[in-house]
């Protein structure tokens, strides 16, 4: 696919969306993802291909490619003869179980990976911690927290890779756990206190990795994910 310059498109709400990706499929994917995470397209809503092509100003080919990618990320679902729909919002019980599962997988990986002090892993952790720390306020709109979520995904994937278990790495990548959690952001007021709290938790995990301390990395990770569970599921405001 030939790269095209960035442009603004209208996405139905009347607000231009400044899309920064260089391919039409990427731009379409980001536009749809924003609408899903901001719930301009509500959970369970049917997605009409013809209406979306007109709305986004694209042909059906890049739109279908974008939908296939969103389906792989579990943000949309498809059924035979019914087409695509926005995936139902995960229940709080499911998200609670998902975070508990993350604690097991990421904790095991940190316990094994931190003592190895792999240079590439440490570089990725430092880079993403800097990027996340530059976010002073976590907003409730996707365009406000997109860069933070992207860095957060890379941070936690680096922790998983540090454990050196290919099966765990593959399984984790298929969960799209952080994107599932991001679907709750629209319901949460996210201010400076929360942003600084999360930044401090990431920094503590990085510090344990830099020290090569597996048990400390495991404990810092558990503390971070338990905190995320409380923040996202509304048990603390």
User: Can you list the domains of the chain with their CATH numbers?
Assistant: 7-86 (1.10.10.10), 92-233 (1.20.120.530)
167-177 pLDDT per residue, tens:
999 999 988 88
Tokens matching residue 85: 């729909």
Is the per-residue pLDDT at 227 higher than 50? yes
Give yes or no for residue 135 having a pLDDT over 80: no
pLDDT of 116 above 60: yes
**Whole-angstrom Cα distance, residue 105 to residue 170?**
11
Instruction: List pLDDT tens digits, range 68-88.
Output: 999 988 899 998 778 899 999
Please state, in angstroms and rounded to a whole number, the distance separating the CA atoms of residues 149 and 178: 7
Burial class (CB in 10 A: 0-12, 13-18, 19+), 218: buried
Q: Is the pLDDT of residue 111 over 50?
A: yes
Tokens coding 157? 């994937």
Structure tokens, 18: 């400044």
| Cβ count within 10 A of residue 118 | 15
CA 193-195-201 angle, 5° bins: 105
Asked if pLDDT for residue 193 goes beyond 60, the answer is no
Q: What is the DSSP letter of 16?
A: E
């Amino acid at each position: 696919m030939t790269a095209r310059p960035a442009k603004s498109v209208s996405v139905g709400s009347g607000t231009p969306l400044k899309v920064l990706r260089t391919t039409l499929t990427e731009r379409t994917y980001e536009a749809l993802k924003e609408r899903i995470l901001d719930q301009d397209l509500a959970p369970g809503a049917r997605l009409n291909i013809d209406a979306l092509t007109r709305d986004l100003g694209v042909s059906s080919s890049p739109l279908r490619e974008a939908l296939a990618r969103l389906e792989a990320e579990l943000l949309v679902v498809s059924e035979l003869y019914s087409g695509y729909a926005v995936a139902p919002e995960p229940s709080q019980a499911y998200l609670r179980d998902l975070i508990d599962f993350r604690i097991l997988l990421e904790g095991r990986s940190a316990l094994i990976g931190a003592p190895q002090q792999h240079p590439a892993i440490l570089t990725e952790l430092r880079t993403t911690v800097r990027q996340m720390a530059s976010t002073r306020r976590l907003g409730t709109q996707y365009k406000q927290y997109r860069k933070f979520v992207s860095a957060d995904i890379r941070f936690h994937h680096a922790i998983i890779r540090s454990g050196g278990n290919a099966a765990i790495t593959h399984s984790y990548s298929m969960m799209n756990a952080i994107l599932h959690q991001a679907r709750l952001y629209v319901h949460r007021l996210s201010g400076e206190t929360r942003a600084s709290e999360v930044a401090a938790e990431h920094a503590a995990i990085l510090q344990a990795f830099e020290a090569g301390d597996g048990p400390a990395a495991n404990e810092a990770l558990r503390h971070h994910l338990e905190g995320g569970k409380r923040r996202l599921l509304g048990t603390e405001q």
